């Protein structure tokens, strides 16, 4: 049986105090000493050799109380707790109620005067390994994130498809994309074309031509204010779903997005729903033979202002 | 189970934009019992969300998050986030229209986060728009990052639980409690096994009668498809339809501020609610808060389902 913390300690003549700490031997895994708290008269370290019997709540010593008092006071600095060192397997040999279980501070380590310094040095070395890795790893992961904008004109079909004024007609087109290592692939996209009457045009352009610029600010195209064809990006400016030209019970023919029910009129203006800005107009040109070309642009959804991302 | 079926799916699944759809179709139509395993995996994710949510409610109502179990609660919240993360990233993997649009909208919402939003959404998409890089990233997160995090945090969750001990019922004197206390084995294990069998049966039944059906392959043109997320994200999706959350600021309010606040309240809960009272009927604010949350989630979910009809 191992002595328990808080057990009373009795000497040959009288009770002297209680067990305050136990000290384990890191090699034999046995309890080697008790630290006895002497009823207010300091602490003494008593070897297990002096112990006669151990019961649940009592440790009986062979020596007399004066002999114990005469021992030198306990030196806490010479020991470390089990929280500070890790000794494999020691835990299994401890049968004391949890509390202060000590082991001798190893000589080798005690002579290391600059523990703090070495601890810090360890962190610095860790940083030294970690930091140079952090940047490359970040860059590695970021590689495809910022693709340059693409200002090619894409043919999307013939304007003959547009039959009615001020109504949306969907043009589907294919766009070739080459992503990283993937073979070039075609993705399907769509825009909505509107042949606008002058009042609608006026609503859209408000008497001014619309200029498109690239990332550096260089002008790439101007939509003339009296050119009747409007091309709206197929992406809903609310959160990016695809919307449709369809009939609404009250508002008549409108662009309606099924996701969160944003509704736009033929000029792209928001009539109802959560969208923060009108539909996005794209650069458009129509050749004399009716061939429609656009620049496929995409803008960030959910913001009042346009931020181009494709 | 999720892990086992997930690993089994990976024997055939290919995470590339040109093969993900075909390989999933192959799993469903050609591989023996592939439809069942995929169905199990799919419905299992719903079951997981329900279980985690039920567990959180219980902990909340029983006041089991209170001192000394604050850390367990925090780790639990992280686990909840991970499960939702599984649902969100897994959803893209079949690369059908449903997958594509749920991700498009989800990532656009993330983009609205202040400061980090643009970076985060580009980081997840691996580019300005969803594509192969997005699929690769979601795949890695779904089958490597999240499972690792889940195992680690679940271990920590249980370890902390062992440290703090179970909270137990909130009624009863210590003596009564002692009389009812039982060892983990065999009675608790027995209850658990029965519970698991019931869940297993439910998921299997769903996988059997409601197998996963893919829509068309993903393209940035939705065709006739009306985008909608998985049911456990529906309420989030629906509340963004409200007038109050329109415009740029409303959007920020609805998609960032409100969920952010809710999250913050949950995180801080054990720290400002220091009252040791655990009986839910003596904690009116907690009870009302819980009921309001549940009712609004239900309302939004149901209204999203009703709204579907108006769309065709
Ligand atoms: C809580 C855990 C998990 C949840 C909630 C979850 C959820 C999902 C969901 C919703 C899907 C889409 C299924 C569909 O719509 O067809 C999916 C697919 C997939 N998951 Fe998981 N998953 C979990 C864990 C895992 C794990 C641990 C792995 C592998 C280590 C894994 C591997 C896969 C694979 C390979 C697919 C693609 C199969 C397909 O094409 O449909 N999942 N997951
Ligand atoms: S994405 Fe169109 S209304 Fe929300």
Q: Which pLDDT score, from 0 to 100, does residue B142 have?
A: 93
β-strand A31-37 against A43-47: which pairing, if any?
antiparallel
Q: Which pLDDT score, from 0 to 100, does residue A218 have?
A: 83
Determine the average pLDDT of the residues in B17-31.
84
User: What distance in Å separates the CA atoms of residue B227 and residue B99, rounded to the nearest whole number?
Assistant: 9
Q: Which pLDDT score, from 0 to 100, does residue B173 have?
A: 47
Q: Where are the domains of chain A?
A: 8-112, 116-143, 153-295
Domains A8-112 and A153-295 share a fold: no
Q: Which pLDDT score, from 0 to 100, does residue A112 have?
A: 63
Q: Which pLDDT score, from 0 to 100, does residue A108 have?
A: 66
Q: Is the pLDDT of residue B172 over 60?
A: no
Query: Residue A194: which H helix or E strand, with range?
Result: strand A185-195
Q: Which residue of B has its CA nearest to A142?
A: B123
Q: How far is A244 from chain B (nearest CA, A)?
A: 9
Q: Is B107 in the pocket of ligand 1 (CB under 6 A)?
A: no
Percentage of residues in chain B having pLDDT higher than 70: 86
Assess contact for A25 and A87: CB atoms under 8 A: no
Q: Which pLDDT score, from 0 to 100, does residue A273 have?
A: 83
User: What distance in Å separates the CA atoms of residue B160 and residue A189, rounded to the nearest whole number?
Assistant: 51
The CA dihedral of B157, B159, B160, B166, to the nearest 10 degrees, is: 90
Test the B interface: residue of A177, A192, A242, A249 with most B CBs within 10 Å: A242
Q: Is B98 in the pocket of ligand 1 (CB under 6 A)?
A: no
Q: Which pLDDT score, from 0 to 100, does residue A280 have?
A: 92
- Rounded to two decimals, what is the model's pTM? 0.77
Q: Which atom of ligand 1 is nearest to the CA of B20?
A: 40
Q: Which pLDDT score, from 0 to 100, does residue B82 have?
A: 93
Percentage of residues in chain B having pLDDT higher than 90: 8
Q: Which of B222, B241, B245 sits opposite A242 (nearest CB)?
A: B222
Q: Which pLDDT score, from 0 to 100, does residue B166 have?
A: 62
Assess contact for A283 and A206: CB atoms under 8 A: no
List, as one string, the DSSP characters of B99-123.
HHHHHHHHHHHHHTSTTTHHHHHHH
Instruction: Determine the 3-state secondary structure of A233 from DSSP.
Output: strand
Q: How far is A48 from chain B (nearest CA, A)?
A: 32
CATH H-level superfamily of B2-311: Cytochrome Bc1 Complex; Chain C (1.20.810.10)
| pLDDT less than 50: residues of chain A | none
Phi, psi of A80 (to 5 degrees): -125, 155
Q: Positive or negative CA dihedral for B179, B185, B191, B195?
A: positive
Q: Which atom of ligand 1 is nearest to the CA of B212?
A: 16
CB pairs below 8 Å between A and B: how many?
116
Task: Estimate the crossing angle of helix B231-239 against helix B70-92, to 10 degrees.
Answer: 90
User: What distance in Å separates the CA atoms of residue A107 and residue A80, rounded to the nearest whole number?
Assistant: 12
Assess contact for A94 and A103: CB atoms under 8 A: no
Determine the average pLDDT of the residues in B148-155.
91
Q: Which pLDDT score, from 0 to 100, does residue B146 have?
A: 93
User: What distance in Å separates the CA atoms of residue A245 and residue A258, rounded to the nearest whole number?
Assistant: 11
How open is the CA angle B175-B176-B182, to the nearest 5 degrees? Answer: 100
Q: Is the pLDDT of residue B311 over 80?
A: no
DSSP 8-state assignment for residue A262: -
Determine the average pLDDT of the residues in B8-32.
83
User: Other C-beta atoms within 10 Å of A271: how many?
Assistant: 15
Q: Is A237 in the pocket of ligand 2 (CB under 6 A)?
A: no
Q: Positive or negative CA dihedral for B262, B264, B268, B272?
A: negative
At B187, is the pLDDT very low, low, confident or very high (cuts 50, 70, 90)?
A: low
| ipTM attached to this prediction | 0.75
Q: Hey, are the CB atoms on A274 and B128 less than 8 Å from each other? A: no
Which CA distances in Å does A47 have to A34, A42, A73, A229, B32?
Answer: 6, 17, 13, 100, 73
CATH of domain A8-112: 2.30.30.240
CATH H-level superfamily of A153-295: Rieske [2Fe-2S] iron-sulphur domain (2.102.10.10)
Q: Which tens digits make up the pLDDT trace of B225-240?
A: 777 777 778 877 777 7
Q: Which residue of B has its CA nearest to A310?
A: B128
């Amino acid at each position: 049986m191992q002595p328990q913390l808080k057990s009373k300690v009795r000497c040959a003549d009288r009770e002297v105090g209680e067990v305050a700490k136990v000290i384990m031997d890191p090699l034999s895994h046995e309890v080697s000493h008790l630290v006895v708290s002497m009823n207010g008269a300091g602490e003494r370290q008593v070897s297990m050799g002096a112990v006669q019997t151990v019961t649940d709540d009592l440790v009986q010593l062979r020596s007399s109380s004066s002999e114990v008092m005469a021992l030198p006071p306990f030196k806490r600095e010479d020991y470390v707790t089990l929280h500070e060192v890790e000794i494999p397997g020691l835990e299994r040999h401890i049968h004391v109620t949890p509390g202060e279980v000590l082991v001798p501070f190893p000589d080798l380590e005690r002579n290391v005067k600059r523990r703090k310094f070495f601890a810090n040095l360890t962190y610095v070395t860790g940083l030294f390994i970690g930091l140079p890795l952090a940047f490359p790893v970040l860059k590695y992961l970021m590689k495809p994130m910022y693709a340059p904008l693409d200002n090619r004109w894409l043919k999307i079909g013939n304007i003959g498809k547009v039959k009615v004024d001020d109504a949306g007609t969907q043009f589907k087109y294919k766009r070739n994309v080459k992503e990283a290592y993937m073979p070039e692939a075609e993705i399907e996209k769509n825009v909505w074309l509107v042949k606008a009457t002058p009042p609608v045009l006026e609503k859209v352009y408000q008497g001014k031509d619309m200029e498109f610029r690239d990332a550096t600010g260089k002008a790439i195209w101007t939509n003339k204010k009296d050119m009747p064809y409007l091309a709206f990006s197929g992406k809903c400016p609310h959160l990016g779903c695809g919307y449709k030209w369809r009939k609404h019970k009250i508002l008549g023919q409108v662009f309606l997005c099924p996701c969160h029910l944003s509704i736009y009129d033929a000029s792209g203006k928001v009539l109802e729903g959560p969208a923060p800005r009108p539909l996005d107009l794209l650069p458009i040109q129509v050749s004399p033979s009716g061939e429609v070309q656009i620049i496929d642009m995409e803008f960030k959804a959910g913001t009042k202002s346009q931020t181009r991302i494709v | 189970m999720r892990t086992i079926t997930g690993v089994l799916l990976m024997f055939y699944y290919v995470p590339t934009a040109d093969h993900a759809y075909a390989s999933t179709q192959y799993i469903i139509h050609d591989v023996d019992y592939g439809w069942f395993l995929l169905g199990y995996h799919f419905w299992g994710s719903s079951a997981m969300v329900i279980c985690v949510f039920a567990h959180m409610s219980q902990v909340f109502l029983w006041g089991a998050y209170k001192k000394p179990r604050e850390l367990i609660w925090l780790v639990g919240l992280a686990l909840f986030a991970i499960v939702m993360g599984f649902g969100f990233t897994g959803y893209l993997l079949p690369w059908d229209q449903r997958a594509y649009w749920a991700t498009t909208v989800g990532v656009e919402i993330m983009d609205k986060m202040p400061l980090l939003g643009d970076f985060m959404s580009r980081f997840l998409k691996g580019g300005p728009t969803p594509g192969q890089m997005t699929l690769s990233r979601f795949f890695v997160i779904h089958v490597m990052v999240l499972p690792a995090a889940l195992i680690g945090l679940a271990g920590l969750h249980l370890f902390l639980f062992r440290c703090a001990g179970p909270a137990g019922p909130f009624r009863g004197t210590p003596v009564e409690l002692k009389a009812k206390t039982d060892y983990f084995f065999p009675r608790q294990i027995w209850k658990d096994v029965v519970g698991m069998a019931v869940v297993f049966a439910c998921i299997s039944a769903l996988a059997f009668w409601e197998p996963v059906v893919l829509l068309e392959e993903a393209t940035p043109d939705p065709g006739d498809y009306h985008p909608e997320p998985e049911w456990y994200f529906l309420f989030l999706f629906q509340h963004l339809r409200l007038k109050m959350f329109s415009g740029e600021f409303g959007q920020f309010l609805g998609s960032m501020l409100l969920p952010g606040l809710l999250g913050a309240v949950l995180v801080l809960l054990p720290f400002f609610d220091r009252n040791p009272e655990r009986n839910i009927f003596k904690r009116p604010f907690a009870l009302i808060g819980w009921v309001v949350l549940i009712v609004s989630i239900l309302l939004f979910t149901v209204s999203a389902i009703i709204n579907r009809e108006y769309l065709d």
